Amino acid sequence: MDSRVLLLALATFVTGTAENIVIGILPQIAAGLGVSIGLAGQLTAVFSITFALAAPLALLLTARFERKHAFVAALAAFVLCSLLAAASPGYGVLFVARIGMAAASATIALLATMLATELVDESMKGRAIGVIFMGMSGSMVLGVPVGMLICSLAGWRSVFAALAGLALLVLFVCRRKLPEVGARRQDTPDYWAHLRSAPLVSAQLVSILMISGHFVLFAYLSPYIAGVLGIAGMGIVFAFIAFGVAGVSGGYLGGLTADKLTPRRAIVLVPAGYLTALMLIPLAAGTAFSFFPIMMVWACLSWMISPAVQSFLITSGPRTAEAGVSLNLSAMHIGVGLGTALGGIAVEAVPIAYLPGIGAMLAALALMAALLAYRGAAKPNVMAA
């Protein structure tokens, strides 16, 4: 794998950490700014919403610029917004800074994905996308705990300052190491052509439905483990570490599956495997020894889907690949929000042990959408944009 792809993954690691870090330092931010925990929690919500809205807009705004230059500019914007967050005198300024960080993060994730596919051979494109998503998943495994440690040592503002410093370092290295691989575009991304293609829209639905099914359980995994398995304290910490390690490996394995088995097969096999793992979770919930292995398989498969779907979008609809990737980044965040909301409604209405079953229903719909994408991609000229 080209080392420059790893550099791009590091950029997504930094911005991915920015999205989730508030969850780990929520009490400190609330106390420091004199606001409630609930209001401080909206700093995460606004990041996700902005990211979902900004990804398609980012492609439109950067379409006529050389990708390396646009990528470096987005990193610079992220640095400035992170410094604003670190120095924010009140909640309102921090809220605005989070919007700016999210918009820059969406641009970085989009351009990193496109740059990664241009830095490698055709046979390695899926794995290149997988490495980018390893950076995103790694931010939850390493970035958030490290941010919590920095906060405990130097306060919550130092976390945003550290993000700015790391992003600035990545910026300097990218300026030196990345080639100007992206030619200046003279056209604009054709979202309408992408959305007219039933197989491509079906592939986008795979992301929304499968990630929704994932977050129905994942967003409430801690109380699920405590309530169903009776595990608490360090046992839950160990569960999240195991989940994170498996998730990071899933990013690469998803790209590898797309490369080796073709994206068209991968987009069906990953949801099928994921659905199976999700259905096995209640059966394995009797003991930690049976639950943890199944949970890790579930975690791995959950992060395999994004490289598989994006590889499908790029290979099956090459003329609208950029529009497809940007919309897919939005689809992922829509899935996060939808799944978290449905899980929250479910835990108020039914026993928490039912969450895997509810998630499985959404995963089954994702598999149906994957089969539609698979069949549609086989038809001649169906992908013409």
pLDDT at 174 over 90: no
Predicted confidence at residue 168, as pLDDT, reads 95
Q: Is residue 383 part of a domain?
A: no
**Amino acid identity at 50:** T
Q: Is residue 260 part of a domain?
A: yes
Q: Is residue 290 part of a domain?
A: yes
d(CA 134, CA 129): 9
Q: Is residue 349 part of a domain?
A: yes
Q: Which two tokens stand for residue 241?
A: 């570490």
At 15, which CATH number?
1.20.1250.20
With 0-12 / 13-18 / 19 or more C-beta atoms within 10 angstroms meaning exposed / middle / buried, residue 239 is: buried
266 and 327 part of one domain: yes
Q: What is the pTM of this model?
A: 0.78
Number of domain units in the chain: 2
34 and 149 part of one domain: yes
Predicted confidence at residue 188, as pLDDT, reads 63
Predicted confidence at residue 208, as pLDDT, reads 94
The residue among 148, 177, 206 that closes a domain is 177
Q: Is residue 170 part of a domain?
A: yes
Is pLDDT larger for residue 287 or for residue 34?
Answer: 34
H or E element that contains 285: none
Model pLDDT for residues 288-338, shown as the tens digit of each residue: 788 889 999 998 998 899 889 988 998 888 888 878 888 888 888 888 878
| Vertex 297 angle, CA 365 and 360, to 5° | 25
173 and 201 part of one domain: no
166 and 203 part of one domain: no
Where do we find the tokens 């059966």? Answer: 283
pLDDT at 285 over 90: no
Q: Is residue 316 part of a domain?
A: yes
Is pLDDT larger for residue 224 or for residue 358?
Answer: 358
The residue among 121, 147, 177 that closes a domain is 177
Q: Is residue 100 part of a domain?
A: yes
141 and 61 part of one domain: yes
349 and 205 part of one domain: yes
> In Å, how far from its chain's centre is CA 329?
7
Q: Would you give the DSSP letter of residue 185? A: P
Q: Which domain holds residue 256?
A: 191-377
109 and 235 part of one domain: no
298 and 371 part of one domain: yes
**Which backbone phi and psi does 217 adopt, to 5 degrees?**
-95, -45
Of the given ranges (63-67, 309-313, 331-335, 357-361), which has the lowest mean pLDDT? 63-67
158 and 207 part of one domain: no
Model pLDDT for residues 182-191, shown as the tens digit of each residue: 554 545 667 8
Inter-CA distances, 46 with 88, 107, 260, Å: 16, 16, 38
pLDDT at 384 over 50: no
222 and 170 part of one domain: no
Predicted confidence at residue 141, as pLDDT, reads 65
223 and 327 part of one domain: yes
259 and 347 part of one domain: yes
The residue among 177, 201, 217 that closes a domain is 177
Inter-CA distances, 22 with 28, 54, 152, 163, 375, Å: 9, 20, 13, 12, 42
